[in-house]
């Protein structure tokens, strides 16, 4: 804590009253052990800090970042000089005033100190769970500190850890995936995650082609996380909303009444620190309550334009891409996965989506594929595996009124193609999903 | 800087590694974004540090630090060796490094105007003028302009004796206009989706006449709102050059990465439909399909002097007259596969492990022209500028969307249609290639956002292409 706060304060002091300024120092250690064909083939670690500064010289704004701590005088001077040459930013929202920040306490000391041998042990457990299979995936540990200071007198410090084991087992052309993310390395169980992946792979052997079309589906948490991140990025994003590119209509019942979606960095299961890159405290933000759209995420800039307050989503890149929720929870239901499958007469169980891309952001029409296990459900039972399918589907309509048959009781962190630890979601049973292509096109 | 890299290598060897290499990287990145004639963000980042790779037995280790002191460099080397020993606890086959010449050299990107010497205000003013022009067109709600510039110095040292300093310069940008309708958005971009990037200086921006094309681009975006949807069906598909470039990137470039073929990317990026025993016999496409991976093309975004293993840039045949003949490789993957190393291993900054990446994977020009292709087409559609891209983990089943299209009837361009998409299976699709424009329309398109690896790395790749026609393709897929 002392080092990052001191470094941030030292950089801020160099501004010497010539600009409004905010400084963020982030860094620490991160390490990732990667395996394929059941052996560790890539194994990396890094340590270091990055200093970011944003200055406003009479409303002329400039941002800069560096990992080089040798010449911070020149770094600050150059940032101010470039700002001085800019046009006045009429939408500069000013700095966050001093305000209390609550630490969500998402830090685990042992995780920050995890060794290459610790990660290799997790990998070995994952691999061993699939005898005679080919395993691939990664085990990652992160321990980061974040310090914020600004010339308005606001200071904040936080630290967090994250640990992930994620991978697949492969056999005879079939693959199955497993994933676990936690703030604590001790919360991971490579054997359990590996067994889930191996079981899915074994059941995937002998997959056959089916005709595309509308199918009832049970979606595993990875698929639901993908839906969630697209809703967040393209919808609950204050910039996209202000620009008219979001599907969000505040106060409207846009989703099934069973859907409750919220962003809450203070949930005991969440990850990260208690403030954003502008120093704004993060708080719970309800996005959908009983199917009714409630809010979008704001940083200071989008909030000022919308005449409201920042919701604490001013993260790196939000000026360009917009503020988006990254501590997302979809409230659990009561159904078990077995119960959801048992209620399907003819449909599909989908383990993972792959390579999803938006065709139109406003309609949130998305195309993508299934991957790592797609299974036919007939008369309430999984009867076999099918080959991967392409879908073209509006993610808003997927969660629309009447299309959500059941919500699972199995919520957990699931990767969404955007990285681990962003969404904590259960399985979903949906009445229909639009598959537009099979393995043969 | 060579001394720091040498200290890191010595640290790794002293800790037991049998091979080590180190890169000191100091890179500058300037990013400018303008929205509706107002600066949106002006960011400058400098990243400096050292990354060390160590091999012990069959295990690799990599450690990076932003601390550029001699002590920190040596410690980074030692840590990389410790990690490599942990790798060996879940062991694989031996990975001898394929032999490459040991080189001491300096390489610099040829460039005319240092992009960092051009005032930020000049760049912002150009983007403001462009976005203002686009905003003046009725129906345009969002007009966005971007520029990005990179200046990278790398010092590479290996325990085999390499000492290579490279100075790479990359420049580019672009803009787009968005029209908002009832429940839909329509967008047009220039020079291509996400902008056009090249190795070189600010001349890479000047050559594209940003201002002269802004009005046309905005008018097309606005007109798309009232255009009819492309109807679903099987048609002749003509692709504009930048879309054909992305088609190459996704359905050829990633598929020929040797690490994917060997299964090293199976869990994340995926594998490949290509199988090594079929090299030199597998039919990838029609006889018009000649693909190379050429890291020596002047101005192309994937051009450099040496890769991040110290292997010299080279041109490798990938597909010859429709037959698959080559891969993208590094020293370890080439050795495992029994192939010559291709010099295609690069890392995203000092703190990322170098891995197999595309260089300039492009299609050699044909002997036709876009005009001739259109004149020869009885019932088709001409699509331009990528809007969405999705392909499966074996690089077989793809669906792409473009920003704009025109019907082609009886040899003439017809009405504009919106939301054009097409879908196919890689070898069948490439087998349909029956006309290809020539060198006059051949452009080194650049892709500045190629993601791969864990932790995620972003690579800059090039894809030379001219417009081409595919005889029969399923088009018009929608939700």
**DSSP-H helix ranges across A85-189:** 109-112, 116-128
The string of DSSP codes covering B127-148 is HHHHHHHHHTSTTEEEEEEEEE
Per-residue pLDDT for B479 more than 70? no
Per-residue pLDDT for A440 more than 70? no
Per-residue pLDDT for B477 more than 90? no
Average pLDDT over residues A394-418: 96
Distance of CA B49 to the CA centre of its chain: 24
From the number of C-beta atoms within 10 Å of its C-beta (0-12, 13-18, 19+), residue A403 rates as middle
The pLDDT value recorded for residue B40 is 87
The H or E element containing residue B219 is: helix B210-224
How many Å apart are CA B104 and CA B156, to the nearest integer?
Answer: 9
Q: All domains of chain B, ordered by start, with CATH?
A: 2-224 (3.30.2290.10), 233-475 (no CATH)
> Are the CB atoms for B393 and B409 separated by under 8 Å?
no
> Are the CB atoms for A63 and B29 separated by under 8 Å?
no
Residue B338's contacts (CB-CB under 8 Å, 6 or more residues apart) are none
**DSSP-H helix ranges across A323-362:** 337-342
Residue pLDDT, tens place only, A242-266? 999 999 999 999 999 999 999 999 9
Residue pLDDT, tens place only, B247-294? 999 999 999 999 999 999 999 999 999 999 999 999 999 999 999 999
Residue A62's contacts (CB-CB under 8 Å, 6 or more residues apart) are A54, A55, A79, A80, A82, A83, A86, B42, B44
Point out the residue among A37, A119, A390 whose CB comes nearest to the CB of B397. A390
Q: Across the interface, do B65 and A47 touch by the CB < 8 Å criterion?
A: yes
Q: Which residue of B has its CA nearest to A316?
A: B43
| Chain B residues 143-182 with CB within 8 Å of chain A | 178, 180
> Are the CB atoms for B339 and B271 separated by under 8 Å?
no
Average pLDDT over residues A125-154: 97
The pLDDT value recorded for residue A360 is 87
Nearest to A122 by CA among A134, A135, A139: A139
Q: What is the mean pLDDT of chain A?
A: 96
Q: All domains of chain A, ordered by start, with CATH?
A: 2-119+135-163 (3.30.2290.10)
Q: Which long-range contacts (CB under 8 A, 24 or more apart) does B68-74 make?
A: B68/A68, B68/A70, B68/B4, B68/B24, B70/B3, B70/B4, B70/B7, B73/B4, B73/B5, B73/B7, B73/B8, B73/B11, B73/B22, B73/B24, B74/B7, B74/B8, B74/B10, B74/B11
How many Å apart are CA A387 and CA A225, to the nearest integer?
Answer: 22
How much of chain A is in helix, strand and coil states, percent to nearest 5? 20, 40, 40
User: Residue A382 to residues B17, B215, B375: CA-CA distances in angstroms?
Assistant: 50, 56, 53
Per-residue pLDDT for A18 more than 90? yes
Residue pLDDT, tens place only, A199-233? 999 999 999 999 999 999 999 999 999 999 999 99
Per-residue pLDDT for A380 more than 90? yes
Q: In the structure encoding, which two tokens stand for residue B271, read together? A: 């594998």
Q: Across the interface, do B86 and A140 touch by the CB < 8 Å criterion?
A: no
Residue A105's contacts (CB-CB under 8 Å, 6 or more residues apart) are none
The pLDDT value recorded for residue A441 is 64
- CA-atom Rg of chain A in angstroms: 23
> Are the CB atoms for B368 and B472 separated by under 8 Å?
no
- Pick among A27, A28, A45, A248 to test the B interface (most B CBs inside 10 A): A45
Q: Across the interface, do A124 and B89 touch by the CB < 8 Å criterion?
A: yes
Chain B residues whose CB is inside 8 A of the A47 CB are: 64-66
Nearest to A417 by CA among B421, B353, B267: B267
Residue pLDDT, tens place only, A269-315? 999 999 999 999 999 999 999 999 999 999 999 999 999 999 999 99
Point out the residue among A68, A362, A434 whose CB comes nearest to the CB of B46. A68
Q: In the structure encoding, which two tokens stand for residue B197, read together? A: 């990037």
Nearest to B146 by CA among B4, B33, B9: B33
Q: Across the interface, do B479 and A68 touch by the CB < 8 Å criterion?
A: no
> Are the CB atoms for B340 and B334 separated by under 8 Å?
yes
Tell me how close the Cα of B358 comes to any Cα of chain A, in angstroms.
19
The pLDDT value recorded for residue A2 is 76
Nearest to B408 by CA among B436, B366, B367, B370: B370
Residue pLDDT, tens place only, B420-432? 999 999 999 999 9
Q: What CA dihedral angle connects A250, A252, A256 and A261, to 10 degrees?
A: 20
Nearest to B108 by CA among B42, B154, B45: B154
How many Å apart are CA A299 and CA A313, to the nearest integer?
Answer: 5
- Pick among B41, B54, B193 to test the A interface (most A CBs inside 10 A): B41
Chain B residues whose CB is inside 8 A of the A315 CB are: none
Chain A residues whose CB is inside 8 A of the B230 CB are: none
Chain B residues whose CB is inside 8 A of the A80 CB are: none
0.90 exceeded by pTM: yes
Tell me how close the Cα of B389 comes to any Cα of chain A, in angstroms.
6
Nearest to B40 by CA among A294, A317, A414: A317
pLDDT band at B334 (very low <50, low <70, confident <90, very high): very high
Q: Which residue of B has its CA nearest to A43?
A: B61
Q: Which residue of B has its CA nearest to A30?
A: B455
Per-residue pLDDT for A180 more than 80? yes
Between residues A417 and A165, which one has the greater pLDDT? Answer: A165
Point out the residue among B90, B264, B423 whose CB comes nearest to the CB of A123. B90
Strand B421-425 and strand B397-409: the pairing is antiparallel
- Pick among A116, A118, A138, A358 to test the B interface (most B CBs inside 10 A): A116
From the number of C-beta atoms within 10 Å of its C-beta (0-12, 13-18, 19+), residue A227 rates as buried
How much of chain B is in helix, strand and coil states, percent to nearest 5? 25, 40, 35
- CA-atom Rg of chain B in angstroms: 23
How many Å apart are CA B46 and CA A50, to the nearest integer?
Answer: 10
Chain B residues whose CB is inside 8 A of the A320 CB are: 33, 40-41
Whether B30 contacts chain A with CB within 8 A: no
Distance of CA A29 to the CA centre of its chain: 20
The pLDDT value recorded for residue A86 is 86
Q: In the structure encoding, which two tokens stand for residue B287, read together? A: 């006889």
């Amino acid at each position: 804590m002392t080092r990052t706060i001191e470094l941030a304060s030292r950089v801020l002091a160099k501004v010497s009253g010539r600009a409004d300024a905010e400084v963020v120092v982030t860094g620490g250690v991160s390490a990732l052990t990667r395996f394929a064909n059941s052996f560790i083939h890539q194994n990396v670690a890094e340590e270091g800090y990055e200093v970011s500064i944003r200055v406003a010289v009479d409303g002329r704004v400039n941002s800069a970042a560096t990992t080089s701590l040798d010449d911070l005088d020149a770094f600050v001077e150059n940032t101010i000089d470039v700002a001085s040459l800019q046009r006045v930013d009429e939408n500069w929202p000013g700095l966050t005033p001093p305000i209390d920040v609550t630490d969500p306490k998402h830090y685990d000391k042992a995780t920050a100190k995890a060794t290459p041998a610790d990660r290799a042990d997790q990998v070995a457990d994952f691999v061993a769970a699939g005898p005679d299979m080919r395993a691939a995936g990664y085990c990652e540990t992160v321990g980061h500190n974040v310090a914020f200071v600004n010339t308005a007198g606001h200071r904040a410090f936080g630290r967090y850890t994250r640990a992930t084991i994620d991978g697949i087992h492969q056999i005879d052309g079939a693959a199955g995936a497993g994933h676990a993310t936690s703030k604590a390395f001790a919360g991971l169980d490579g054997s359990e995650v590996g067994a889930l992946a191996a079981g899915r792979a074994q059941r995937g052997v002998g997959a056959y082609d089916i005709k595309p079309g509308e199918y009832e589906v049970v979606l595993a948490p990875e698929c639901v996380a993908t839906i969630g991140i697209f809703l967040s990025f393209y919808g609950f994003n204050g910039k996209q909303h202000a620009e008219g590119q979001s599907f969000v209509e505040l106060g409207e019942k846009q989703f099934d009444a069973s859907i409750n979606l919220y962003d809450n960095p203070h949930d005991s299961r969440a990850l990260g620190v208690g403030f954003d890159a502008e120093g704004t405290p993060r708080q719970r933000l309800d996005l959908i309550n009983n199917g009714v759209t409630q809010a979008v995420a704001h940083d200071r800039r989008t909030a000022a334009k919308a005449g409201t307050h920042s919701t604490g989503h001013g993260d790196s890149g939000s000026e360009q891409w917009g503020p988006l929720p990254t501590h997302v929870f979809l409230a659990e239901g009561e159904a078990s996965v077995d119960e959801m499958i048992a209620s399907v007469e003819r449909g599909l169980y989908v383990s993972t989506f792959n390579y999803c891309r938006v065709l139109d952001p406003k309609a949130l029409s998305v195309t993508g594929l299934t991957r790592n296990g797609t299974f036919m459900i007939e008369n309430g039972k999984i009867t076999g595996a099918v080959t991967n399918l392409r879908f073209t589907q509006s993610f808003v309509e997927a969660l629309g009124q009447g299309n959500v048959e059941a919500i699972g009781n199995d919520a957990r962190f699931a990767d969404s193609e955007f990285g681990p630890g962003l969404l904590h979601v259960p399985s979903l049973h949906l009445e229909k999903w639009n598959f537009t292509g099979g393995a043969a096109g | 800087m060579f001394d720091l890299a040498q200290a890191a290598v010595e640290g790794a060897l002293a800790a037991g590694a049998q091979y080590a290499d180190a890169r000191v990287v100091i890179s500058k990145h300037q990013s400018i974004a303008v929205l509706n004639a107002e600066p949106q963000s002006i960011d400058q980042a400098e990243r400096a540090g050292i990354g060390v790779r160590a091999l012990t037995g069959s295990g690799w280790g990599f450690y990076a630090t932003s601390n550029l002191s001699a002590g920190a460099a040596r410690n980074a080397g030692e840590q990389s060796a410790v990690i490599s020993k942990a790798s060996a606890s879940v062991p694989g086959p031996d990975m001898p490094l394929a032999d490459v010449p040991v080189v001491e050299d300096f390489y610099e990107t040829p460039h005319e105007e240092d992009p960092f010497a051009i005032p930020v205000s000049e760049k912002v003013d150009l983007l403001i003028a462009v976005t203002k022009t686009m905003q003046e067109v009725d129906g345009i709600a969002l007009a966005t302009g971007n520029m990005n510039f990179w200046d990278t110095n790398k010092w590479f040292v290996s325990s085999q004796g390499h000492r290579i300093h490279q100075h790479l310069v990359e420049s580019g940008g672009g803009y787009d206009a968005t029209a908002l309708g009832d429940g839909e958005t329509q967008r047009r971009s220039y020079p291509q989706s996400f902008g056009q990037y090249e190795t070189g200086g600010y001349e890479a921006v000047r050559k594209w006449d940003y201002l002269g094309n802004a009005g046309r681009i905005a008018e097309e975006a606005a007109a798309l709102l009232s255009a009819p949807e492309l109807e679903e069906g099987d048609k002749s598909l003509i692709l504009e050059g930048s879309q054909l470039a992305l088609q190459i990137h996704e359905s050829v470039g990633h598929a020929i990465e040797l690490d994917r073929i060997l299964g090293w990317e199976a869990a994340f990026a995926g594998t490949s439909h290509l199988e090594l025993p079929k090299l030199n016999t597998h039919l990838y496409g029609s006889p018009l399909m000649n693909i190379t991976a050429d890291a020596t093309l002047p101005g192309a975004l994937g051009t450099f002097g040496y890769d991040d293993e110290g292997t010299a840039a080279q041109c490798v045949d990938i597909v010859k007259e429709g037959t698959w003949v080559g891969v993208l490789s590094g020293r370890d993957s080439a050795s495992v596969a029994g192939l010559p190393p291709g010099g295609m291993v690069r890392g995203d900054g000092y703190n990322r492990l170098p891995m197999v990446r595309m260089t300039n994977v492009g299609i050699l020009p044909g002997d036709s022209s876009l005009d001739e292709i259109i004149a020869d087409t009885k019932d088709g559609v001409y699509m331009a500028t990528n809007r969405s891209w999705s392909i499966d983990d074996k690089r077989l089943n793809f669906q792409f969307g473009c920003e704009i299209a025109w019907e082609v009837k009886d040899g003439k361009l017809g009405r504009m249609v919106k939301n054009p998409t097409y879908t196919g299976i890689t070898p069948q699709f490439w087998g349909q290639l029956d006309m290809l424009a020539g060198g006059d329309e051949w452009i080194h398109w650049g892709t500045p956002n190629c993601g791969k690896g864990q932790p995620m790395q972003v690579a800059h790749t090039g894809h030379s292409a001219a417009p081409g026609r595919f005889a029969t393709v399923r088009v018009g897929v929608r939700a």
